[in-house]
Structure 1
Amino acid sequence: MDLQGKKVLVTGAEGFIGSHLTERLVELGADVTALVQYNSFNNWGWIDTFEKKVKDSIHIVTGDVREYDGMSRIIKGQQIVFHLAALIAIPYSYLSPMAYVRTNVEGTTNVLEACRNYNVEKVIHTSTSETYGTALYVPIDEKHPMQAQSPYSASKMGADRMAESFYKSFDLPVAIIRPFNTYGPRQSARAVIPTIISQILSRKKEIKLGSLTPTRDFNYVKDTAEAFIEVAISNQTIGQVVNAGSNDEISIGDTVNKIVHLMGSDVEIVCDDQRMRPVNSEVNRLWADNTKIKKLTNWRPRYSLDQGLLETIEWIKQNLHYFKTDIYNV
């Protein structure tokens, strides 16, 4: 499949991964519609920071995936839909689990139903490595059992199953991409890497974090965006779940040490109780097996962790005003 001239919708286009994907789709010549969550401030999230030439080439619409009629109007006429809109903060899912069901499960169902009704050519649904929970074996392939260790992961499991059901029940051409831990420019301080970097840049001598022992499979956002593209253009991914990960793991503690080294800093790490997940909810190990995505697509990760971190550090340095380092972001 060639994306040149294709009518493409990105839900959650104003967000971290969605904004990078939107820019990449414009580069590839797609006719991009960006769905931004409606708000009275007419705020377009990260799209507001795009260069004018890029922004002017995008059709920006506001709406809410929780509302079917609006989704139906927006999806009509689209050929490819990248569905990224979701509530993603794990700590907030402990406080408001029903919000995650309504957005992630019901919202996804609205998108799928509209895509079915308008015969969309390809739907790329966004999953998460959190659906696997703590690794029962490594590296984690797509056959690994799913474990709901947080309301967030449970809601994404429900969304994934709805996507699977629309493929099996209605032949909707759905592919499910399951990114592991993406990081990079535009990520909020609810995530560990920008939390570390922004606190160091704010000249804090004590860096507040949660548990340091869990391992993660970190992936630079440009690699993740490229994985979305490759999953979209490959006919072999229809009806499939594919991991997008680096096939490597590093502990949070070692990640801190790496960032401290790259930034030439001298800081003390403090474990902050409010940043700790409930014991049985902590995902202790994530390490992706990326064999399947390499087999079904041309995707390969291009950025090393050091390369990605250096670019992220530089971006946060230039945009530190976006970060409230004295507040714990749930």
Structure 2
Amino acid sequence: MSRKILLTGAGGFIGSHLAEELVRLNFAVRAFVHYNSMGSHGWLDTSPAEVRKELDIFAGNVCDPNGVRTAMKGCDAVLHLAALIAIPYSYHSPDTYVETNVRGTLNVLQAARDFGVEHLVHTSTSEVYGTAQFVPITEDHRLQGQSPYSATKIGADQLALSFERSFGTPVTVVRPFNTYGPRQSARAVIPTIITQIAAGARKIKLGSIHPTRDFNYVADTVGGFLAALDSKAGIGEVINIGSAFEISIGDIARMIAELMDVTIEIEQDDVRVRPERSEVDRLWASNVKAQKLLGWSPRFAGVDGLRKGLEQTIAWFTKQENLSRYRTNAYTL
């Protein structure tokens, strides 16, 4: 019999790609999506029909412990991706981030402990490091909450690790750096650039362009989760999933413009600029630990891998049926 996996956040950007790959690998997948009155399953609604028919959809909210327990019954392992992730939104609605990211994670941990699941992979974020104090950033780098979002993710990570240490709950903390690819929200910088250009803009509105990021194509991030799920060596550990390559926001905007064969001018839009001490100026991952413990390394590595991933991302966003889902002339909080 195939292992049954509970995947929280299954309707989201990374979650939907991960759900599809789990099905292709013959896992039994219970896809936990956020309940809404429209009956939407998020990006899973766009998945191929042969994938959708294999998914066991559960609509609920990770903030509800009873729903989490119901969803987890009969599952062998858990991939916990559900979270609120938009940094600007966390500035004015931090309570919702505490409730979802901390309380929601606690609900998942409690249920996993009670049901004795064989493995729980918890999702962290590179934002927990704050601005790099040294590069490449290893998992021993200090944690610094420079936004309410990152602070709640630090709290969630520490809760997850505490359950492994206190109760022996088999937890692995996967820490992806900046993932990009088809289906990503326009809150993220790469879709923001692509959709503005695709809509005909040549003056591109961005926030700060000096920060550097370690961008990872979504297929590599999915591969990192699958490698973590398969490895007992990662239990009790925090593991970076990153490309080990950094590039500035300004330079990636110019790279995208080159790939889309246009000339652009970048305009700073003040509403997109983080408060000065909240901005994370530099992120650049070490992925040595992932290679050692999980046998994972990025397939879209270095500048060539980035260009390849961007080409695939641009191809998806510039299809009219996909571009029409985005409000290209509005800033998405």
Cα distance in structure 2, aligned partners of 1:300 and 1:138 = 18
Question: How far apart are 1:103 and its partner, in Å?
Answer: 0.1
**211-220 or 319-328, which deviates more:** 319-328
Unaligned runs of 5+ residues in structure 1 are none
Cα distance in structure 2, aligned partners of 1:9 and 1:36 = 11
Question: How far apart are 1:69 and its partner, in Å?
Answer: 0.7
Equivalent residue letter for 2:80: H
Question: How far apart are 1:191 and its partner, in Å?
Answer: 0.2
Q: Give % identity.
A: 55
Match of 1:329 among 310, 313, 332: 332
- Per-residue Cα deviation, 1:93-125 (whole angstroms, up to 9, x for no partner): 001001000000000000000000000000000
Equivalent residue letter for 2:324: H
Question: How far apart are 1:51 and its partner, in Å?
Answer: 1.0
Cα distance in structure 1, aligned partners of 2:39 and 2:112 = 26
SS of residue paired to 1:322? coil
- Per-residue Cα deviation, 1:169-204 (whole angstroms, up to 9, x for no partner): 100000000000000000010000000000000001
SS of residue paired to 1:236? coil
SS of residue paired to 2:111? helix
Question: How far apart are 1:298 and its partner, in Å?
Answer: 1.8
1:313: which partner in 2? 314
1:125: which partner in 2? 122
Cα distance in structure 1, aligned partners of 2:86 and 2:68 = 23
1:84: which partner in 2? 81
Question: How far apart are 1:136 and its partner, in Å?
Answer: 0.3
- 2:254, 2:264 within 8 Å by CA — same for their partners in 1? no
Cα distance in structure 2, aligned partners of 1:205 and 1:57 = 43
- Per-residue Cα deviation, 1:252-287 (whole angstroms, up to 9, x for no partner): 011011111111112211000000000000000000
Question: How far apart are 1:205 and its partner, in Å?
Answer: 2.0
- Per-residue Cα deviation, 1:199-251 (whole angstroms, up to 9, x for no partner): 00000121000000000000000000000000110110000000000011000
The aligned runs of 1:8-157 (5 Å cut-off) are 8-157=5-154
Question: How far apart are 1:126 and its partner, in Å?
Answer: 0.1
Question: How far apart are 1:82 and its partner, in Å?
Answer: 0.2
1:196: which partner in 2? 193
Match of 1:185 among 173, 179, 182: 182
Question: How far apart are 1:299 and its partner, in Å?
Answer: 1.1
1:242: which partner in 2? 239
Cα distance in structure 1, aligned partners of 2:38 and 2:207 = 33
Cα distance in structure 1, aligned partners of 2:211 and 2:265 = 19
Cα distance in structure 2, aligned partners of 1:262 and 1:38 = 38
Cα distance in structure 2, aligned partners of 1:250 and 1:298 = 25
Equivalent residue letter for 2:111: A
- Per-residue Cα deviation, 1:132-164 (whole angstroms, up to 9, x for no partner): 000000000000000000000000000001001
SS of residue paired to 1:248? coil
1:283: which partner in 2? 280
Unaligned runs of 5+ residues in structure 2 are none
SS of residue paired to 2:38? coil
Cα distance in structure 1, aligned partners of 2:19 and 2:6 = 9
SS of residue paired to 1:123? strand
Matched, 1:230 2:227: yes
Cα distance in structure 1, aligned partners of 2:31 and 2:270 = 38
Cα distance in structure 2, aligned partners of 1:204 and 1:73 = 47
Equivalent residue letter for 2:70: R
Question: How far apart are 1:301 and its partner, in Å?
Answer: 0.5
Cα distance in structure 2, aligned partners of 1:328 and 1:305 = 25
Equivalent residue letter for 1:154: A
Cα distance in structure 1, aligned partners of 2:67 and 2:19 = 21
Q: Name the Cα RMSD after superposition.
A: 0.6
SS of residue paired to 2:11? coil
Equivalent residue letter for 1:311: Q
SS of residue paired to 1:306? helix
Cα distance in structure 2, aligned partners of 1:84 and 1:236 = 20
